[in-house]
Structure 1
Amino acid sequence: MTAKPQTPLLDRIAGPADMRHLSDPDLKRLAGELRAEVIHAVSQTGGHLGAGLGVVELTVALHAVFDTPRDRLIWDVSHQSYPHKVLTGRRDRMLTIRQKDGLSGFTKRSESPYDPFGAAHSSTSISAALGFAVARDLGGAPDPALGDAIAVIGDGAMSAGMAFEALNNAGHMGKRLIVILNDNEMSIAPPVGAMSAYLSRLYAGAPFQEFKALAKGAVSFLPPPFQEGARRAKELLKGLAVGGTLFGELGFSYVGPIDGHDLDQLLPVLRTVHDRATGPVLIHVITKKGKGYAPAEGAPDKGHGVGKFDVATGEQAKAKSNAPSYTSVFARALIEHAANDDKVVAVTAAMPDGTGLNLFAERYPSRCFDVGIAEQHGVTFCAGLAAGGMKPFCAIYSTFLQRGYDQVVHDVAIQRLPVRFAIDRAGLVGADGATHAGAFDIAFLANLPGFVVMAAADEAELVHMVATAVAYDDGPIAFRFPRGEGTGVTMPERGVPLEIGKGRMIRQGSGVAILSFGTRLSEVETACESLAAQGITPTIADARFAKPLDRELILALARDHEALITIEEGAIGGFGSHVAQLLAEEGVFDGGLKFRSMVLPDTFIDQASPADMYAMAGLNAADIERKVLDVAGAGTPE
């Protein structure tokens, strides 16, 4: 086990108030100890590393200058908040991060008063901070009284439309509001688009170096050569001749760019903004993801998400996989079809590695598009591609697709455009917790007219569903699959398109029928092995489709069995609800059929291992066994 670093100064910090008595040289030493502490903690637990290392000095400076928690510090996405957690009274629990009953990997209101706003998806911070600023001016939350609102947002998150909506509104309102643009030239993947190019131009060449030299000696907001009155001060605030034009036009005073790892720059600028700002201010800070830890700095994703690792080498301890991941199976299947069909294109929203499209991009760079953190645009971009005769695959995590739902309805479904939605991270995902759990896509897609909605029971079925989506041109089609490795089934040589709306029988039994939608099928089979030892042999079927339903299969199961149980990795209102609607309309319940629907519970489930999360949800093999025994009237197993 890696030795714990020596942190004598950090050991004296119980909370941010203890930092405000430190000298600037001590704050620099504290930043060094904090970086070592974060590296050590994440090496033991895994998690988000590079983002937190990139904001160590910024975190120290913000807590030293502002009166948190009275001043509300809001981290966008908040996967960079590990240093913040260490400094705000949670150091002794850092080894529980992202584990069951442990600290969240993101900010969480119920966890600490220093987390005024929860986050895990991007581009929400400026909107929330503006809400706090208005609440402050209207007299909200008198105990403790609201102070400043400070949003820390990355350059990747700034590419989302919501961030600009908030900037526009904040600039118009003119409230005192502080936005820190944490510009590390990288979100999770390298940034794309005009905003990234604009920010790059701002700090290219001499102007940044000039500002750095000026800011180092600044004990007030302006160095002496520029203390010539309000007019010159205003001009410097708006860009120091570097080009804060965009933000100035939106109504923000622009400061920067400044070196986010140099406390000699950060502290005087933050102190002066704290003392003098009257309206909205944007401070442009240049940082480096993974700063101070060579293995993270050198990683392609700058150590975005890591497992446990050896601090000396950076080598991660990864469990040996017994089967390919669902994500890689999807990517390879799509590449095979793209080789035979030049109309197949792929779109992702800032997650090329997470969705497997980095593999597709290597093979077909001109047919793979990363639109940045802009799911709404990505969906409508796919709609335009489909209307133009292409076969777009919109590869987005289930929870991120929620951000583009209006576009799914308005731009895709109503026009019946053949956009193919590859929905990764379906179901419960483990350490990222409720914010990343794919619980709702079955319900919100299957209620749209003309949509085809599939779920793969295993990685072989996923290959066939990719083939089905390629071949389907009659409207939108979606297929969902979970995070992690497959079940280890024999893989087909190539995918074969499935008949739309047709499920399959897995095992013929009697008494009770179980109709599974998605990867709970393996848990169903495990449960039925135990039930067989008790003389109960349920029928098992794989629905494959939540829409259109296999009416013939469902009605036959209802007719030939005393009880029918549906099971899915989704929320109330999904597959089981559609089956119940069909049975009700057909009058099946009049004959006394017992019907049960096993779904995710009506609650948000906190982070744990996927197995523990499904146990909490009541959707593992033991729960299925109990449900069968209940409807069969056979009692409950020990």
Structure 2
Amino acid sequence: MEALTGPAAVREFPAGDLPGLAERIREFLVAKVCRTGGHLGANLGVVELTIALHRVFDSPRDALVFDTGHQSYVHKILTGRAGEFAGLRQAGGIAGYPSRAESGHDWVENSHASTALSYADGIAKAVQLTTGPDEPARRVVAVIGDGAMTGGLAWEGLNNLGGAPDRPVIVVLNDNGRSYDPTIGGLARHLSGLRSADGHRAYFEELGFAYVGPVDGHDVAELEEALREAAAMWRPVVVHAVTAKGHGYRHAEADDADRMHACGVIDPVTGQPDAPGRPSWTHVFADEIAEVGADVPGVVCLTAAMLQPVGLKKFATRYPERVFDVGIAEQHAVCSAAGLAMGGLHPVVCVYATFLNRAFDQVLMDVALHGLGVTFVLDRAGVTGPDGPSHHGMWDTSMLAMVPGLRMAAPRDPARLRELLREAVGESSAPTVIRFPKATAGADLPAVARMDGIDILHRGGRLPLDVLLVATGVTAEAAVEAASQLSTEGIGVTVVDPRWILPVHPTVVHLADRHQLVVTAEDGVVSGGAGSAIAQACMAAGVRTPVHNLGLPAQFLAHGERPDILRQCGLDAHGIATTISRLVLASPAGEIVPSGRIA
């Protein structure tokens, strides 16, 4: 792979050597991704396609834009980054998605789906306006999967591209019949008709595109011919390439569930994890929502092309008529959920926290404005780790804090997840949210007492200094450990878990008034988050106790291991204890007014 120093080297390969090159790239991908984890199946499916793209087009002068970007590993190899794959998705190493900081060959860092066609539209307009009459022509190529084509933004881009015959954008439709799960809806049926060559006229032609295909997405020669034909037309063109996700790796090919779309560290020979891990938060939710389905017949579930990743497979197996996969269309999922609620059901919308960003308007105006009982289950909330800045689910609390009537819960342990989910689906007049991280679910952390629905996890004791530490969700374990450490320094810390973190419960404000210092901890953006809401509530109530908020900075955090990122942000036990100790020591004498404690 080291010989692949850039696209020019790829173009110099004799045509007869390309099948062997593709095989070596697949072997390289399996060896490296099995060691680090990452998106394996998606990249195995586009090896020949990416080779053909770099042989026909001149990157980066010609712009290659990969939708979603999880299939860009082959692109990285062909643009000279094979030697960096030992650090794939690890702190300081190369990203699992395109990265403008890594290479000029990466035009966009798009790791949310359905964006490439709009990017391509804008880039093509810029090329048209900035390329001089004597300069060589430049082309714009957008690679988008059939799954990503189920998103509404893709159709907005397609509509604009097809309506501009003077901007020759080439849309490469990578048709493998899947996004994460199998592609659904009318588009899937249409593409199936095109693949079967039964006389279908491509819908794309009605929108203003020329149509080339379908072509074998695992035949470099056929792909090159199709791409050169498209490039010669100088008009908007769709090249329909049919590929197989996971192609060439038997464990991925045999994986009917997702063709090994993404994997953790696995044995490349067996395709299995080196050692089974503890149940994840997603598994806990999966078991409980299936039980909720039995107890609450009005509960229905929605997913945006991620039935298995968000834990709905068991529910769907038991109640197939009560689960709806709407494709990569979060806006539609939420608005459709509003309609289901209007019809007398209780929808549970299950998405990654980062993807709910795309449907904020629907949460606000289509659910909350109508006072509808819709529950949002946000998987991968907080720091996710190796997937990097686009996938950290760290924006949801700050974003949703402004939604009138919305209630958000952050369970600290599996027992609370089950408990809070039951409470959420019992709410019929306002939206509710349950958020949990991408992590293993540890042991339950019992409360020593409950006060008005607020769990007291640790009492400060009769020490001279008395601090209230409000821990949201999975920060609770670190908070309790920090409180134990601080007791040896003569600092008494009472740790409480509000369970429902938004809106602020009046009891939290009452407790704040009875302490000398309040510190909040959350695994979301600190600006406008749950801690900020507590500080505002205390101010509104005239509580003079100082409030200090701990959380994630309002920055795009790089990829790395989740515990390391939390530690760097001061959200581990040591970081929380250090912050509290510093705040206490820095307080001028007499500034903190002694106050009562929990009896």
TM-score, normalization: structure 2? 0.93
Cα pair distance change 1:309/1:481, threshold 3 Å:
closer
Q: Does 1:168 align with 2:123?
A: no
Which residue is 1:279 aligned to? Answer: 235
TM-superposed CA distance for 1:552, in Å, is: 2.5
Cα pair distance change 1:580/1:200, threshold 3 Å:
same
Runs of 5+ consecutive residues of structure 1 not aligned to the other structure: 1-9, 208-240, 493-497
TM-superposed CA distance for 1:319, in Å, is: 4.5
Contact 2:481 2:573 in 1 (8 A): yes
Structure-2 separation of matches of 1:137 and 1:580 = 51
Contact 1:307 1:317 in 2 (8 A): no
Contact 2:445 2:477 in 1 (8 A): no
Contact 2:2 2:82 in 1 (8 A): no
TM-superposed CA distance for 1:504, in Å, is: 2.1
SS of the equivalent of 2:205 reads helix
Aligned counterparts, 1:46-445, within 5 A: 46-139=37-130, 147-174=138-165, 175-204=167-196, 242-244=200-202, 246-274=203-231, 276-299=232-255, 300-321=257-278, 324-445=279-400
Which residue is 2:514 aligned to? Answer: 560
Which residue is 1:613 aligned to? Answer: 565
SS of the equivalent of 2:474 reads coil
Which residue is 1:601 aligned to? Answer: 553
TM-superposed CA distance for 1:74, in Å, is: 0.7
Runs of 5+ consecutive residues of structure 2 not aligned to the other structure: 588-599
Structure 1 runs (4+) deviating above 3 angstroms are none
Cα pair distance change 1:100/1:162, threshold 3 Å:
same
Equivalent of residue 408 in structure 2, options 441, 445, 453:
453
Cα pair distance change 1:384/1:305, threshold 3 Å:
same
Instruction: Output the amino acid matched with 1:202.
Output: L
TM-superposed CA distance for 1:491, in Å, is: 9.5
Contact 1:391 1:470 in 2 (8 A): yes
TM-superposed CA distance for 1:145, in Å, is: 8.2
TM-superposed CA distance for 1:178, in Å, is: 0.5
Which residue is 1:537 aligned to? Answer: 492
TM-superposed CA distance for 1:554, in Å, is: 2.1
Structure-2 separation of matches of 1:506 and 1:34 = 52
Contact 2:213 2:226 in 1 (8 A): no
Structure-1 separation of matches of 2:443 and 2:509 = 28
Structure-2 separation of matches of 1:44 and 1:337 = 38
Cα pair distance change 1:262/1:195, threshold 3 Å:
same
SS of the equivalent of 2:25 reads helix
SS of the equivalent of 1:587 reads coil
Count how many residue pairs are aligned between Structure 1 and Structure 2.
Answer: 577
Contact 1:70 1:145 in 2 (8 A): no
TM-superposed CA distance for 1:345, in Å, is: 0.8
SS of the equivalent of 2:302 reads strand
Structure-1 separation of matches of 2:248 and 2:476 = 46
Cα pair distance change 1:91/1:110, threshold 3 Å:
same
TM-superposed CA distance for 1:619, in Å, is: 1.4
TM-superposed CA distance for 1:545, in Å, is: 2.0
TM-superposed CA distance for 1:564, in Å, is: 0.5
Cα pair distance change 1:119/1:422, threshold 3 Å:
same
Percent pairwise identity: 41
TM-superposed CA distance for 1:473, in Å, is: 1.2
Cα pair distance change 1:415/1:21, threshold 3 Å:
same
Q: Does 1:585 align with 2:536?
A: no
TM-superposed CA distance for 1:24, in Å, is: 1.3
SS of the equivalent of 1:372 reads coil
Structure-2 separation of matches of 1:38 and 1:505 = 49
Q: Does 1:484 align with 2:439?
A: yes
Cα RMSD (Å): 2.0
Structure-1 separation of matches of 2:350 and 2:268 = 34
SS of the equivalent of 1:603 reads coil
Instruction: Output the amino acid matched with 2:515.
Output: H
TM-superposed CA distance for 1:182, in Å, is: 0.1
TM-superposed CA distance for 1:553, in Å, is: 2.9
Contact 1:442 1:546 in 2 (8 A): no
Cα pair distance change 1:531/1:449, threshold 3 Å:
same
Structure-1 separation of matches of 2:543 and 2:2 = 68
Structure-2 separation of matches of 1:96 and 1:141 = 41
Cα pair distance change 1:563/1:177, threshold 3 Å:
same
Instruction: Output the amino acid matched with 1:608.
Output: G
Contact 1:43 1:307 in 2 (8 A): yes
Cα pair distance change 1:612/1:140, threshold 3 Å:
farther
Structure-2 separation of matches of 1:547 and 1:66 = 51
SS of the equivalent of 1:442 reads helix
Contact 1:19 1:27 in 2 (8 A): no
Cα pair distance change 1:96/1:132, threshold 3 Å:
same
TM-superposed CA distance for 1:11, in Å, is: 4.1
SS of the equivalent of 2:171 reads strand
Contact 2:454 2:507 in 1 (8 A): no
TM-superposed CA distance for 1:89, in Å, is: 1.2
Structure-1 separation of matches of 2:470 and 2:444 = 20
Which residue is 2:595 aligned to? Answer: none
TM-superposed CA distance for 1:190, in Å, is: 1.2
Structure-2 separation of matches of 1:551 and 1:490 = 24
Instruction: Output the amino acid matched with 2:254.
Output: G
1:283-318, Cα deviation, whole Å (9 max, x unpaired): 000000011111111112101111223333323324
Is 567-576 or 180-189 further displaced after alignment?
567-576
